[in-house]
Amino acid sequence: MSADNHKKYKMQQYSIDEISERFGIVAESMEMREVLHVVQQVATSDITVLITGESGSGKDLIAKTIHQLSHRADKEMISVNCGAIPEGIIESELFGHEKGAFTSASDQRKGYFELADNGTIFLDEIGELPQQTQVKFLRVLENGEFMRVGSGQPRRVNVRVIAATNKDIEEEVSAKRFRADLYYRLRSINIRIPPLRERQDDIVPLVKRFANEFAQSSKMSFGGFSSQAIDALIGYEWPGNVRELKNVVESLIVLEPGREIQAEDVRRFLSKMHRSNVSYGYSDNVHLPVHLHKSSEQAERELIYRALLEMRNDILELKEFLMNQHHEPQRVHLLPPSEHNISNRNVKNELIEELPSIEEMEKSLINEALRRTGGRRREAAKALQISERTLYRKIKEYGL
């Protein structure tokens, strides 16, 4: 590293609060502060980084921050959306081509890797990369070598690679749609951006930022959000994450110019957005709102309790069914003969008393989810349709 670059490297040692302020990343929540802590650690190296997270959660902003904190900050960062490039030309786009390599190749052309030499390349939606291209990409990661389309001459680049995806890459590997060796090479550092519903402490500062910026840039009068409207925004599940929050805030300012926005305005607007999926505050999709006026954690607790109550009712119905079988002569007796004189009501009361509590069933359900997923908490939380944060709290609460 040159003396100039070393100087820049030393200058770019920022605290988490400084990173948040400098690069416009809202990180009031513990979850996002943990993300920035990892960014702080990896940015100054050249290690490959894989950023995972739902669409709209801010993966591109984290990638740009890593680049700007690195010793390559004075070089270019090339961003490539792998899902937006047709499969037939993606190799040419990434690695370049020689004149005459294919019908429309009238000139020699550098690819994105060459253009990013000595800088950073950000490959968004890496899960969409065709398998044939994955092999060539792996070679670049391994030794910096590639060949232009139509050329047999290896070329070398010095590029820092940051990749991102909203897919479950482990699932893609299992389905053989993504190469295992490439995944293992990419996941040296995996930064998971939590969805907005798992970082509720960030919602209010994000709303304030988006509202003020939009009102100023569009020169529109803005009357603010009522406390109930803020509660409604916090209680929403935000399937589109930060990007959706920004669009909703801006749309509400346009629709209600100069007036304080109320909870009913928020609910009405969100309902219109998801009218085909939502039925009066409830959704079959776990990413849509459950109760607009409740926190995500409260909603998730209600979901799991509802599932447990349904299981409990099923158990009761099954036991009642088995009890009734006892009174049918063609069936096998399931109760001891000495108890045949017990009334149906007494038997039912005893069966009810034997039922486990909701807490016991919840603990058992979480144990079973962890067992089936081999202890992988993220997958267990997904199976239970609750956030990882809620699952971690439950594990601690029950001493699992």
How high is the pLDDT of residue 33? 96
User: 140-147: long-range contacts at Cβ-Cβ below 8 A with a sequence spacing of 24 or more?
Assistant: 140/113, 141/48, 141/182, 141/185, 141/186, 142/185, 146/94, 146/95, 146/111, 146/113, 147/95
pLDDT tens profile 221-254: 899 999 999 999 999 999 999 999 999 999 999 9
- Does residue 129 or residue 340 have the better pLDDT? 129
Q: Which residues contact 361 (CB under 8 A, 6 or more apart)?
A: 308, 311, 312
pLDDT tens profile 278-320: 333 334 333 333 333 344 444 455 555 555 555 555 555 555 5
Gap between the Cα atoms of 177 and 126, Å rounded: 12
Domains and CATH numbers, the chain: 3-194 (3.40.50.300), 197-283 (1.10.8.60), 296-398 (no CATH)
Gap between the Cα atoms of 84 and 186, Å rounded: 21
How high is the pLDDT of residue 338? 44
The pTM assigned to this predicted structure is 0.66
Site of tokens 């920004």: 246
Task: Identify the bridge partners of residue 283 per DSSP, sorted by sequence position.
Answer: 278
Computed on alpha carbons and rounded to an integer, the radius of gyration of the chain in Å comes to 28
Average pLDDT score over residue span 90-108 = 86
From the CB of residue 217, how many other CB atoms can be counted at a distance below 10 Å? 9
pLDDT tens profile 347-382: 445 544 556 677 777 888 888 888 887 778 877 887
Strands 120-124, 160-165: parallel, antiparallel or unpaired by DSSP? Answer: parallel
